[in-house]
Amino acid sequence: MNAISRPVTGPFEKTKGWLDWYADPSKPHFRVPAGAVDAHCHVFGPGAEFPYAPERKYTPCDASKAQLFALRDHLGFARNVVVQATCHGADNRAMVDACMSSGGKARGVATVRRDVSDDDLKRLNEAGVRGVRFNFVKRLVDFTPKDELMDIAGRIARLGWHVVIYFEAVDLPELWDFFTAIPTTIIVDHMGRPDVTKPADGPEFAAFLRFMRENGNVWAKVSGAERLSVSGPAALNGERNPYRDFVPFARRVIEEFPDRVLWGTDWPHPNLKDHMPDDGLLVDILPHIAPTAELQRTLLVDNPMRLYWPEEKGV
């Protein structure tokens, strides 16, 4: 058993009420560029060490920092951005522990409440946190008042951090004015969750593209294929070309906004109910959504380095 394996009977084990992450991810056929960053992933627990939040809406499988770092190496990535997930609430200890144990190879995105002290923010900054996440997905979180979020955004702006937002496509019109008032760089998780059964050049996705076009501080994570896809991971004509209904959406965003896109595995894929992706296969989406070496380098190296490791020269 290698470092990223789990002792389970199969990849789709569902006996505990949640799906475990894929035990033995394949080696991607696509080689990511040197220095590539997995800019959206999580650590969960282990629950015995870092308990899950009492207010959580789902309980994930444990997924440790050691397993995350082993996956990073297996897939050919150099660094991680560890994003706080709702199952840990505003208790950032597991994420912070992963960042601090990474030898500088992981940065973090935290969840904080209004009562966070300046000293807490300073400590998070020293641990490698560079952003906060505001989650508007109703099945995941209870409502947080917008004035509380704006208060937090104003405070973290002074640290040079950004705001990561997660919402469903249908909620963008109602949230638009709030988002455009945020004073920092904004990163949208999973392109605002488009319905990929609709056309990528249709009116719903046009609203998201307009959101990016009219707001130069808005970036998108072109991730979440395994969440959004209906066609799924099946190979076509024997080719490793998974999640192909997702591809035109991500490609459209990358080609129009090459300097404002990030990509991540989303390992260990919290809260998926039916299918758990092979992370090696997920990486093989990359040449389809970013078809040139230049786009691949911008997406996987230059953009995340500029945002999360700006102090490193030459990026």
Instruction: Give the residues lining the site for ligand 0GY (CB under 6 A).
Output: 85-87, 135, 140, 166, 189, 227, 266, 270-271
Q: Which is nearer to ligand 0GY, 42 or 130 (CB)?
A: 42
CB of 163 to ligand 0GY, least distance (A): 15
Distances (CA, A) of 133 to 49, 67, 110, 124, 185: 23, 23, 6, 14, 12
CB of 25 to ligand 0GY, least distance (A): 18
Between residues 184 and 271, which has the closer beta carbon with respect to ligand 0GY? 271
Say if residue 194 is exposed, middle or buried (CB neighbours under 10 Å; 0-12, 13-18, 19+): buried
Please say whether the beta carbons of 297 and 309 come within 8 A: no
Residue whose C-alpha is closest to residue 266's, from 233, 236, 227, 220: 227
Q: What is the DSSP string of 227-265?
A: HH-SSTT--BTTB----TTTHHHHHHHHHH-GGGEE---
Nearer to ligand 0GY, 266 or 278 (CB): 266
Instruction: Report the alpha-carbon distance of residue 5 to residue 25 in Å, rounded.
Output: 9
Minimum Å distance from CB 284 to ligand 0GY?
19
Length of the chain: 315
Choice among 38, 62, 97, 266 that is catalytic = 266
Is residue 266 part of the annotated active site? The answer reads: yes
**Shortest approach of ligand 0GY to residue 85 CB, angstroms?**
3
For residues 149 and 111, the answer to whether their CB atoms sit within 8 Å is no
CB of 223 to ligand 0GY, least distance (A): 7
- DSSP run (H or E) holding 40: strand 37-41
Nearer to ligand 0GY, 264 or 280 (CB): 264
Give the nearer residue to ligand 0GY in terms of CB position, either 273 or 313: 273
Residue 194 per-residue DSSP state: -
Going by C-alpha positions, the residue among 113, 83, 134 that lies closest to residue 270 is 83
How far lies 254's CA from each of 28, 113, 286, in Å? 21, 33, 11
Question: With respect to ligand 0GY, which residue has the nearer C-beta, 171 or 255?
Answer: 171
- Confirm if 172 and 215 have CB atoms less than 8 A apart: no
User: Among all chains, which residue has been given the structure tokens 């950032």?
Assistant: 92
Minimum distance, C-beta of residue 87 to ligand 0GY, in the bound complex (Å)? 6
Positions annotated as catalytic residues are 266
